[in-house]
């Protein structure tokens, strides 16, 4: 791809840091400047050569940026957009990596004003339970999906630049409406996170928590891996997408009630059918992913 002259990453954690590393590895970027609220993290990102320099919320950092990636928890998005709106240059393209899109799009409409046409809302569907610059690695986006949710007025040039950047990271780029995006992610990502956090909380609050944990094994470990995710980030995601999430949680409660009734009446046939159907669906999914 045509090289990005200067990239500014706001929030140099797992997501933002991995984006910078992937573009560097692909030789698709010239200079990377990092901005963040934790000085220690930005310093570490420089040490790890994720960024070439530390920037600030000023004209020198943003004025000549070709691309700006906002990779902060959704709850900080408003303040960050408000801060950069008067600073970005006339050609600067801005994108984000927020896990929810309806709220980010609404914020962008309010805050970005004159640069709105060069804002491309996005969400890389990739991650680990780790956070911070330390956790970043260049292969994070390889063979992963990135969803863009462009607006009617998004400049084609801006969309094309963001698409090429993600492709240079090894990802495939898809488009959804913000609402579609949020509904899909509520089911396959936000709900499982809440369920995993809830199970660990239940065990941790038990009277015999210590003994319970001592007999937890590999199944428990993998089921709850996502409960080691960043609490602040997941608070923001849950709040931002709470309407869709509450609806999915309601459906799941209905599902559990159904299973509980099968258990209560000792209906082995129904339980086995549900388990077998779920296993087959999952195995088909895994096969299609390969």
The single residue among 67, 112, 125, 158 that binds a copy of itself, judged by CB under 8 A, is 125
Verify binding: residue 288, a copy of itself, rule CB under 8 A: yes
Q: How far is the CB of 280 from a copy of itself (least distance, A)?
A: 8
Is 256 buried (19+), middle (13-18) or exposed (0-12) by CB count in 10 A?
A: exposed
Closest Cα partner for 131 from 11, 13, 10?
A: 13
Nearer to a copy of itself, 22 or 161 (CB): 22
Residue with tokens 């339970």: 129
Q: Coil, strand, or helix at residue 146?
A: strand
Verify binding: residue 126, a copy of itself, rule CB under 8 A: yes
Verify binding: residue 127, a copy of itself, rule CB under 8 A: yes
**Contact positions with a copy of itself (CB under 8 A) in 198-237:** 198-204, 206, 208-209, 211-229, 231-232, 234-236
Question: Taken in order 87, 88, 90, 95, is the CA torsion positive or negative?
Answer: negative
The single residue among 48, 128, 139, 177 that binds a copy of itself, judged by CB under 8 A, is 128
Nearer to a copy of itself, 90 or 211 (CB): 211
Nearer to a copy of itself, 156 or 221 (CB): 221
Q: How far is the CB of 193 from a copy of itself (least distance, A)?
A: 7
Distance (Å, rounded) from C-alpha 253 to C-alpha 266? 20
Q: How far is the CB of 13 from a copy of itself (least distance, A)?
A: 16
Closest Cα partner for 95 from 75, 76, 77?
A: 77
Distance (Å, rounded) from C-alpha 121 to C-alpha 149? 5
Distance (Å, rounded) from C-alpha 290 to C-alpha 210? 39
Nearer to a copy of itself, 29 or 238 (CB): 238
Verify binding: residue 253, a copy of itself, rule CB under 8 A: yes
**Which residues lie across from 96 on neighbouring strands?**
70
Within its chain, how far is the Cα of 120 from the centroid? Answer: 15
**Contact positions with a copy of itself (CB under 8 A) in 9-68:** none
Nearer to a copy of itself, 106 or 209 (CB): 209
Helical H segments across 112-228, by residue range: 156-168, 178-185, 191-204, 209-214, 218-223
Q: How far is the CB of 4 from a copy of itself (least distance, A)?
A: 26
**Contact positions with a copy of itself (CB under 8 A) in 263-282:** 263-264, 266, 268, 271-272, 274-279, 281-282
Verify binding: residue 104, a copy of itself, rule CB under 8 A: no
Nearer to a copy of itself, 114 or 260 (CB): 260
Question: Taken in order 63, 69, 74, 76, is the CA torsion positive or negative?
Answer: negative
Residue with tokens 């994108």: 95
């Amino acid at each position: 791809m045509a090289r990005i002259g200067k990239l500014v990453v706001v929030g140099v954690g797992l997501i933002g840091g991995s984006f910078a590393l992937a573009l560097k590895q692909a030789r698709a970027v010239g200079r990377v400047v990092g901005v963040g609220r934790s000085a220690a993290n930005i310093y570490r990102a420089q040490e790890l050569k994720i960024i070439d320099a530390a920037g600030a919320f000023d004209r020198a950092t943003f004025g000549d940026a070709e691309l700006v990636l906002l990779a902060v928890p959704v709850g900080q998005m408003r303040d960050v957009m408000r801060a950069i709106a008067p600073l970005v240059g006339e050609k600067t393209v801005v994108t984000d990596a927020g896990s929810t899109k309806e709220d980010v799009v609404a914020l962008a409409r309010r805050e970005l004003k004159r640069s709105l046409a060069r804002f491309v809302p996005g969400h890389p569907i990739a991650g680990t339970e780790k956070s911070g610059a330390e956790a970043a690695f260049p292969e994070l986006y390889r063979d992963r999906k990135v969803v863009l949710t462009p607006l009617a007025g998004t400049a084609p040039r801006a969309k094309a630049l963001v698409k090429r950047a993600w492709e240079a990271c090894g990802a495939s780029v898809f488009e959804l409406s913000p609402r579609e995006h949020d509904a899909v992610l509520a089911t396959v990502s936000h709900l499982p996170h809440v369920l995993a956090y809830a199970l660990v909380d239940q065990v941790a609050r038990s009277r015999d928590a210590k003994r319970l944990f001592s007999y937890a094994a590999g199944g428990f470990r993998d089921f709850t891996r996502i409960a080691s995710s960043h609490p602040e980030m997941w608070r923001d995601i849950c709040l931002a997408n709470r309407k869709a999430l509450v609806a999915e949680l309601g459906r799941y409660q209905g599902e559990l009630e159904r299973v509980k009734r099968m258990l209560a009446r000792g209906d082995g046939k129904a339980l086995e059918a549900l388990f077998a159907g779920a296993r087959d669906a999952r195995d088909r999914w895994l096969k299609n992913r390969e």
